[in-house]
Structure 1
Amino acid sequence: MRKSLFAILLIATPLLAPALVMASGGHGPELEHSGIDLKDKASLQRGAKYYVNYCQGCHSLQYSRYNRVAADIGITEAQLEKFLIFGDAKSGELMTNALRPEDGEKWFGTAIPDLTLATRWREPDWVYTYLKSFYVDDSRPYGVNNLVFPDVGMPHVLAGLQGVQEAVYKGGGHEDDGHIAGLKLVEPGTLTPEEYDNMARDITNFLTYVGEPMKLERRRLGIYVLLFLGLMFFLTYNLKKEYWKDIH
């Protein structure tokens, strides 16, 4: 018995380790709650608009098709072609871009990731906090760094909207200390902080949908499956009792 329990622990420990690390809080900054709602079609539509205008030039969504996205977020084919498709792409094509991998490595020092599964291998709160956590850092090639992604290789493409943030160091310290307590907006953008928060939330909501388009449907069907299994268990259990009653 002890050997069996020990074997189970050996197998389970590597699987549980990431969850235990996340539960302990890790060493990164505290993530902000995104508060996304996949049922909010207006938010998904805004998020799609922001994404294709500000993000898709570099980051593709190579596992998503334009027409499937349009159907899921509640826009027509005409609206799709007018507002979300640029260039000569067709509505049935994948949401890729013209940026070659070798150009991405040349300009940014690393291959630019596809973001279809960004909220699956991170999490929505991480993406939301990331979009809000750029700050001035003159030591970086593009003059910015990020709290949740230290030494990030990309520029802050939304800086004109959010504004410019500077790091506030613990105890009034200096950047050499490396202990950042928070960020301070020193140069406003075209959006207010509340408007930018909503924009970051909409982009996160859209990317969460893209990562698993069937999530809401899967949950809806899951309820019926569980109810069916519960009913079958009830019927099977009573059938078993009726079948064996004369024997026991």
Structure 2
Amino acid sequence: MKKVFLTVVAALGLMTGAAHAAGGGIAWDKAPDRSNDLAALQNGAKLFVNYCLNCHSAAFMRFNRLKDIGLTDQQIKDNLLFTTDKVGDTMKASIDPKQAKEWFGGNPPDLTLVARSRSAQGKGTGADYLYTYLRNYYVDDTKPTGWNNLAFPNVGMPHVLWELQGKRAPVYETVMDHGHEVQRLKGWEQLTPGTMGAERFDQEMGDLVSYLSWMAEPAKNTRVRVGFGVMLFLLFMTFFAWRLNAAYWKDVK
């Protein structure tokens, strides 16, 4: 129950805080593009089901669509389904929406299209935002949740992945900017270790964001491949038509 509570609070924090992210916080890191890496997408799907699906729905995605990233029906049943789910079901949160609204004042947002819905001029894509957001939590005892985030300050969402990343605190240095002293992020102090090192955690978050990006547009890779083939066909036909035209008019003066 405690895990469900924290996840719901996290969901509502993401929903309310993301609206402010485009206007403040640090520059967004470039998210890795693993849309063609089936192993990464499968790992991202596992992370999504284990850490997000308790409270977040993906109502426009069915479990059996995961066969597009190389999983079989049996693998989906054994590793990604809850006891009452079926392979053909949509990805709905296990929490009761009525209870969530009663407890927290609103339902956690659907994440099917979240990777396409967050972007900012000059900062990056929705995937870049998610990748930056998930990796920049730090301990802040002044906040009710005990956590804050550099991607957008004063976030209301606790760090539900802290057991993986551990507890961290930012280290700042004072620099001069246009004649004024400002605090600039220098690095991180690891307060307590997580079950993953920093590099491994970044890798896992990259897989999760890649899955969220794939889920937002599962047909993208097919569309790109078909588009590439069509452009090659049109290029060939243009050359063929040009040579045919030259042959047809060669005797015309």
What interval of TM-score do these two structures reach, taking the shorter chain for normalisation?
0.7 to 0.9
Structure 1: state its 5+ residue gaps. Answer: 1-24
Alpha-carbon separation, structure 1, partners of 2:107 and 2:153:
17
**SS at 1:171 equivalent:** strand
Alpha-carbon separation, structure 1, partners of 2:189 and 2:40:
27
Matched, 1:131 2:128: no
The match for 1:114 among 102, 110, 113 is 110
Query: Cα distance, 1:56 vs. partner?
Result: 1.0
Alpha-carbon separation, structure 1, partners of 2:182 and 2:206:
28
Matched, 1:153 2:156: yes
Distance change >3 Å, CA 26–CA 152, structure 1 → 2: closer
**SS at 2:174 equivalent:** helix
| 1:127-185 Cα shifts (integer Å, max 9, x gaps) | 1111111112233332212111333232211001101122333429xxxx995625432
Residue of structure 2 in register with 1:38 after alignment: 35
| 1:74-124 Cα shifts (integer Å, max 9, x gaps) | 111111111101130111011011334454455556542211112112222
Matched, 1:49 2:52: no
Which amino acid is the alignment partner of residue 82 of structure 2?
Answer: F
Q: Percent identity?
A: 42
Matches within 5 A, 1:124-203: 124-171=127-174, 179=183, 181=185, 182-203=187-208
- Check the 8 A contact 1:109/1:153 in 2, yes or no: no
Alpha-carbon separation, structure 2, partners of 1:184 and 1:49:
29
Alpha-carbon separation, structure 1, partners of 2:188 and 2:102:
30
Alpha-carbon separation, structure 1, partners of 2:240 and 2:50:
55
Which amino acid is the alignment partner of residue 36 of structure 1?
Answer: D
Matched, 1:63 2:60: yes
Structure 2: state its 5+ residue gaps. Answer: 1-21, 119-125, 176-180
Choose between structure 1 and 2 for higher RCO, CA contacts under 8 A separated by at least 6 residues.
Answer: 2
Count of equivalent residues: 219
Which amino acid is the alignment partner of residue 141 of structure 2?
Answer: D
Residue of structure 2 in register with 1:22 after alignment: none
Matches within 5 A, 1:214-233: 214-233=219-238
Alpha-carbon separation, structure 1, partners of 2:242 and 2:160:
61
Normalising by structure 2, report the TM-score.
Answer: 0.75
- Check the 8 A contact 1:133/1:183 in 2, yes or no: no
- Check the 8 A contact 1:167/1:180 in 2, yes or no: no
- Tell me which protein shows more helix as a share of its residues: 1
Alpha-carbon separation, structure 2, partners of 1:147 and 1:100:
31
Normalising by structure 1, report the TM-score.
Answer: 0.76
Query: What's the Cα RMSD here?
Result: 2.8
